[in-house]
């Protein structure tokens, strides 16, 4: 772990070279892709600093799906620590609610909460004979104020809540509101971010 901390602290060379590359080529990239939503796979992402501060921070491109990979698991752990991405649904999977979710896979949601699903969907479609024209991971937000509207909407999206006793359901809603409030840093706690995948494919 000491190695990863040192690497993340003393990586000015990598930051400089990445910044130079993007500043030199950003106009070319913008001409090629204009305002198209882009996906990026950063191979050898390290602690994520170059990806976060240079690629996302300086390029000005419209990245909607960002994946960083590295063969060093300790660096990936450090990247997750430095640049937190909260998966709210995984956060809520705990012993308190797990018993009510035994049939959760029986339901299909039109929402997508894992950006890795784009590559999975694309691979599945191609395997069964589709030509994928595009797969886009998109970020949105919606104001669910007041609280009653938020509760009613999230409960409608979670069919397993029907099996919950009233006391457990109240705790579940309280937990869910708290998590979304943290995501919005207390400002407009019911202006909720969410993600979806847009897919256009044709049968070959």
Rounded to whole angstroms, what are the CA distances from 34 to 61, 149, 158? 8, 38, 38
Report pLDDT for 88. 47
Report pLDDT for 189. 61
In the predicted model, residues of the chain with pLDDT beneath 70 are 1-3, 82-98, 100-113, 157, 159, 179-189
Q: How far apart are CA 180 and CA 190, in angstroms?
A: 7
Report pLDDT for 86. 47
Report pLDDT for 74. 81
Strands 63-69 and 130-143: what pairing?
Answer: unpaired
Supply the pTM of this predicted model: 0.39
Report pLDDT for 184. 54
Question: What is 88-203's CATH topology?
Answer: Rossmann fold (3.40.50)
Which sequence spans correspond to the domains of the chain? 2-82, 88-203
Report pLDDT for 187. 58
């Amino acid at each position: 772990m000491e190695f990863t901390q040192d690497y993340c602290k003393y990586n000015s060379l990598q930051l400089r070279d990445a910044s130079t590359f993007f500043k030199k080529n950003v106009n070319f990239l913008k001409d090629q892709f204009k305002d198209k939503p882009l996906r990026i796979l950063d191979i050898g992402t390290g602690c994520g600093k170059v990806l976060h501060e240079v690629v996302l921070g300086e390029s000005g491109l419209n990245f909607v799906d960002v994946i960083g990979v590295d063969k060093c698991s300790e660096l990936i752990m450090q990247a997750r620590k430095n640049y937190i991405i909260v998966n709210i649904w995984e956060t809520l999977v705990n012993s308190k609610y797990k018993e009510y979710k035994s049939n959760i896979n029986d339901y299909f949601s039109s929402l997508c909460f894992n950006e890795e699903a784009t590559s999975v969907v694309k691979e599945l479609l191609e395997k069964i004979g589709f030509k994928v024209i595009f797969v886009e991971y998109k970020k949105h937000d919606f104001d669910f104020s007041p609280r009653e509207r938020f509760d009613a909407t999230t409960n409608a999206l979670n069919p397993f809540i029907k099996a919950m006793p009233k006391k457990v359901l109240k705790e579940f809603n309280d937990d869910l509101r708290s998590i979304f409030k943290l995501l919005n840093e207390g400002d407009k706690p019911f202006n909720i971010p969410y993600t979806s995948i847009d897919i256009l494919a044709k049968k070959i």
